[in-house]
Structure 1
Amino acid sequence: MARVKFTAGRIRAFECEPCKSQSFLWDTEAPGLGLRATANGVKAYIFQAKLNNATLRTTIGLEKAWHLDKAQAEARRLKVLVDGGQDPRQVKVEQQAAQDAARDAAEAASLRESVTLGHIWPEYVADRIGSRENGWSEHHIAAHRKLIQAGGEARSRSRKLTQPGPLFTLSSVPLIALTTERIEEWAKVEAKTRPSSARLSWRLLKACMNWCSTHKIYSDMVPNNPTKSTRARESLGKPKKRNDVLQRAMLKPWFDAVRQIKNPVISAYLQCLLLVGARRDELAQLRWDDVNFRWGYITIKDKIEGARQVPLTPYVARLLEQLPRRNEWVFSSPAAASGRIAEPRIAHNEALASAGLPHLTLHGLRRSFATLSEWEETPAGIAAQIQGHAPQGVREQNYIRRPLDLLAKWHAKIETWILQEAGVNFATPRHADEHSQVVEIPVHP
């Protein structure tokens, strides 16, 4: 092997010998340091030595990238490793692994500190929406988004701006800092001004933290669910049972006011909520394909069973027949982004006020159906099945299989009684006596 004292000039002049793929030049000053030149003109510093009676060779770096002094210093360092019985190549691999581990640890630490509740909340909602077995309604999805909103946006029908959601104060908190103590302090504050919304937020947050605990990335940040706190639950208190319901005497003023609502879709929707006893979102998501006018039934998406069929009673059928068919939705709304009815509460509250009736929620109409059905001594199981309640008791769960015709018999009785009490003279030609006067009151007189 040719050995010379490396200088800048000799290194610059050294080239690969003709008819060879590579040539080597070795330094006399730094043992093991060599210069390799290839046929394509590339030069690189290398190190070669004997370890355990075997020759090892490793590349230090390109000649253009390494100054001669640094290359010689690197060769001496590698020589020390070899003299100590270490393979420089293995040492390099171990050092790189240590650097990678340190970098990964730093990135993980940075991620742990930067990932906040506000970051993961949209991901959580999107994941649950995409789950086939999830079954979240649009109302439930909207609640998740509303409870963590920043607020400050203009309302569609008011000059007031939207308020921050109960979870907004926690949205900037890193998951690793979302401790039980932090949740308890949040619960104390929120319970003073909006306990109902705070309780809902707490339940949804608990489900989100359970999701995080099984996530491949976030599980290390949430080893234990911080929302499982007795103190937080005690601070938020128990929800009060709602007793809003339409009494028998309230039916006439309620129908009179609701049927005067200028929007025929909202008017029909509110009447159907009372006469069908369905959940508000179940009815709002009704499609024309779900309504069978010929055989007299409606298919409703059910959060318990997935879907259920309920009778299409005569008056409800007439209400639906008079609605405009703008799109796939029965209760359509050209102004809504979804194309269907979005917020009927405002019109309902105005109707209640005009009739001098006490406040009544949309769910109160569902509660009213269950209550008013007892005036006709309707069997509890039948009313529950129409409303989509889970069967109660061994007999209901395992033995009773009611046909749709049986439900229709009782459902028609309930509707007829409610309309009579409301002073709505409605009859269908096939049920009317030929000598009686049939008075059909339209949805909007």
Structure 2
Amino acid sequence: MAKIRISKRTIDALEPREKAFVVYDSELSGFGVRVAPASAKTPDGLKTFIVEYRPGAGGRSVRSVRLAIGRYGAITPDDARRIARDKLAQARTGEDPAAQRRQDRGTPTVAAVAEKWMAEQVGEKFSAKTRILYRSYLDRHVLPAIGTKKLNLVTPGDIDAIHVALGSAGKQPTANRLVSMLSALFNFALRRRLAPAGFTNPVFGLERYREEKRERFLTTPELQRLGDVLRQAETSGLAWDPRPTGKTKHAPKAENRREVYSPHVTGAIRLLLFTGCRLREILHLRWTDIDFERGLLFLPKSKTGAKTVVLNAPALDVLASLPRAGAFVIASGDPEKPRADLQRPWARITAAAGLAGLRIHDLRHSFASVGAGGGMGLPIVGKLLGHSNASTTARYAHLHADPLRQASERIAGTIAAALDSKAPAEIISISASRKLA
């Protein structure tokens, strides 16, 4: 076999023949140039850099493998030599670059896996709200960044770049939710064996942004203000102002700018307070889900699966007062479709009640806080909320203060008595003293 010092000058001098032939480099063993016969498109013959090696343990008994590096003209001889040296080094360590290339070609892209995951996993097992959220994450952040990458070529650095970009934009919670979604996507690929052997989840080990848990509970005065506004909203109505950017020429006079809200709107808010349910659980509640005789709601779908909610007297009163206008308890414009949200009326109601920044989900927290603060015990509160994990209810532990207060009083009483050289006094709780009286 002919050997030459492969360079631009020597490659340009190679003339095509009737059959393809290979010329090897005189310095780097296994590195060469394949020259194809001349054609109408390539009259000088197509010249392709190649590297040959024996995979695995090597030796004469192992058949050599030829791997194309790239076409002359698309890459330079120096670049081709550098690539060939790397491939030969991989082969010496027991790797097989050609097999790796075949594996890479058979590995799906992130976009292909994402579509399969959305159709077979998210579409079947997640709520409509979650499906919309995940689709938004994929289309806006993931697919533009790594959608065309083969699954096995995605690195932790790729995921970190997406995470940091969102975090730098002030969207740390979104960044954390997105990488959690990606972790589920890559785990799906592993379970379905869409990823090649040796693939590890690139999200593993990624440090999330620290998030401050929002714990907003309504106080008794705030509950009173909210109740007053709800009664006003469904009777005389709430005042409203024209949008500053809108046309105000034909707007009604101030005394006529009042909006009376449907009992389904105010009823939904009261049900959220009285049951501790999530918003979608109330908005998607059907009349057929209610057992008035036993005072129960049977929710076929919730965040934690099927769920039974115990109805108290105030909640039953709200349900009994609501007019039936279709399949759903909280009626919408279409009797066969649930109401989409409560955003607009909620903004007006909270503004009128002086509760700026209060979220609808905070009503659920308020329900839990009253239960925990009333000494009902976290397991009972968790059961009422439908928590599947006790750790979820533990966020309300600091409100369950009665046992801690009693312990603190007893400890401090003993210490104070010792300081004053007196016998420790018995600590009696206020509630107990009232019972004795």
Structure 2 length normalisation: TM-score?
0.53
Residue in structure 1 matching 2:110, options 111, 117, 123: 117
In structure 1, what is the equivalent of residue 429 of structure 2?
none
Label 1:376 to 1:198 Cα distance change in 2 as closer, same or farther (>3 A).
Answer: same
CA distance in 1 between partners of 2:109 and 2:137 (Å): 16
1:316-395 superposed matches below 5 A: 316-334=315-333, 339-374=337-372, 376-390=374-388, 392=390
In structure 1, what is the equivalent of residue 173 of structure 2?
196
- Contact 2:103 2:196 survives alignment (8 Å): no
CA distance in 2 between partners of 1:123 and 1:262 (Å): 44
CA distance in 1 between partners of 2:198 and 2:273 (Å): 44
What SS does structure 2 have at the residue aligned with 1:224? coil
CA distance in 1 between partners of 2:353 and 2:210 (Å): 32
- Contact 1:253 1:355 survives alignment (8 Å): yes
CA distance in 1 between partners of 2:285 and 2:302 (Å): 14
CA distance in 2 between partners of 1:123 and 1:224 (Å): 19
In structure 2, what is the equivalent of residue 257 of structure 1?
229
Report the CA distance between 1:211 and its aligned residue: 0.3
| Residue identity matched to 1:143 | L
Label 1:246 to 1:126 Cα distance change in 2 as closer, same or farther (>3 A).
Answer: same
| Residue identity matched to 2:214 | R
Report the CA distance between 1:287 and its aligned residue: 1.9
CA distance in 2 between partners of 1:173 and 1:182 (Å): 12
Label 1:380 to 1:187 Cα distance change in 2 as closer, same or farther (>3 A).
Answer: closer
280-289 vs 184-193, which moves further: 280-289
In structure 2, what is the equivalent of residue 245 of structure 1?
217
Label 1:167 to 1:244 Cα distance change in 2 as closer, same or farther (>3 A).
Answer: farther
Report the CA distance between 1:302 and its aligned residue: 6.3
Label 1:222 to 1:199 Cα distance change in 2 as closer, same or farther (>3 A).
Answer: farther
Residue in structure 1 matching 2:189, options 183, 207, 212: 212
What SS does structure 2 have at the residue aligned with 1:310? strand
In structure 1, runs of 5+ residues without a counterpart are: 1-103, 150-163, 394-445
Q: Alignment identity in percent?
A: 22
Deviation track 1:1-48 (CA, whole Å, cap 9, x = no partner) reads xxxxxxxxxxxxxxxxxxxxxxxxxxxxxxxxxxxxxxxxxxxxxxxx
What SS does structure 2 have at the residue aligned with 1:362? coil
Report the CA distance between 1:124 and its aligned residue: 0.7
- Contact 2:110 2:143 survives alignment (8 Å): no
In structure 2, what is the equivalent of residue 39 of structure 1?
none
What SS does structure 2 have at the residue aligned with 1:148? helix
Report the CA distance between 1:322 and its aligned residue: 3.6
CA distance in 2 between partners of 1:205 and 1:271 (Å): 37
Label 1:117 to 1:343 Cα distance change in 2 as closer, same or farther (>3 A).
Answer: farther
What SS does structure 2 have at the residue aligned with 1:358? coil
CA distance in 2 between partners of 1:309 and 1:223 (Å): 42
Label 1:144 to 1:254 Cα distance change in 2 as closer, same or farther (>3 A).
Answer: same
Structure 1 length normalisation: TM-score?
0.52
Deviation track 1:397-438 (CA, whole Å, cap 9, x = no partner) reads xxxxxxxxxxxxxxxxxxxxxxxxxxxxxxxxxxxxxxxxxx
Report the CA distance between 1:376 and its aligned residue: 4.3
In structure 2, what is the equivalent of residue 292 of structure 1?
291
Identify the structure with bigger relative contact order (alpha carbons < 8 Å, sequence gap 6+). 1
In structure 1, what is the equivalent of residue 145 of structure 2?
170
CA distance in 2 between partners of 1:178 and 1:327 (Å): 49
- Contact 2:111 2:147 survives alignment (8 Å): yes
CA distance in 2 between partners of 1:206 and 1:386 (Å): 31
Rg bigger for which structure? 1
Label 1:284 to 1:108 Cα distance change in 2 as closer, same or farther (>3 A).
Answer: farther
Deviation track 1:293-347 (CA, whole Å, cap 9, x = no partner) reads 22322123465874333332233223223434344322232359x8112222332
Show structure 1 runs of 4+ deviating over 6 A. Answer: 104-108
- Contact 1:137 1:281 survives alignment (8 Å): no
| Residue identity matched to 2:369 | T
| Residue identity matched to 1:138 | A
In structure 2, runs of 5+ residues without a counterpart are: 1-98, 234-259, 392-437
- The number of residues matched between the two structures is 264
What SS does structure 2 have at the residue aligned with 1:167? helix
C-alpha RMSD of the superposition? 3.2
- Contact 2:277 2:364 survives alignment (8 Å): yes
- Contact 2:298 2:307 survives alignment (8 Å): yes
